[in-house]
Amino acid sequence: MASQAGKRYQCGQCGAQVVVTRGGTGDLGCCAGTMELVGSGTTAPASKGKNLQLGKRYKCDECGAEVLVTKSGEGPLTCHGEMVLQEPKKMATSD
């Protein structure tokens, strides 16, 4: 199941929740399982773990999918492989 921009996914094991900021072709996973699509009737599991931090962005190098962590969790987040933490862009310093 491909990820679509604007969709939310959560991990039933660690409670991590992400919102897709850029869709991709892979299955989003976490804690070695597949993340579930968050809908209106979805119950949010208790959040545990601290590897995934609120506000961090992760990207799949293979398909370009990007997610934003909206609830902390254990991770690691996976798509075609382990997703890569995107460092915030540094302001170009001009002297």
Query: Could you list the residues that contact Zn ion (CB under 5 A)?
Result: 11, 13-14, 16, 24, 26, 30-31, 60, 62-63, 65, 73-74, 79-80
- Residue 92 CB, shortest distance to Zn ion, in Å, is 29
Q: Is the separation of the CB atoms in 81 and 26 below 8 Å?
A: no
Cα separation, 53 vs 32, whole angstroms: 18
Nearer to Zn ion, 51 or 94 (CB): 51
- Residue 91 CB, shortest distance to Zn ion, in Å, is 29
- Amino acid in the structure at residue 62: E
DSSP letter at 9 equals E
Nearer to Zn ion, 3 or 89 (CB): 3
Half-sphere exposure of 71 (CA within 13 A, CB side): 18
- Residue 89 CB, shortest distance to Zn ion, in Å, is 22
Q: Is the separation of the CB atoms in 15 and 59 below 8 Å?
A: no
Nearer to Zn ion, 74 or 94 (CB): 74
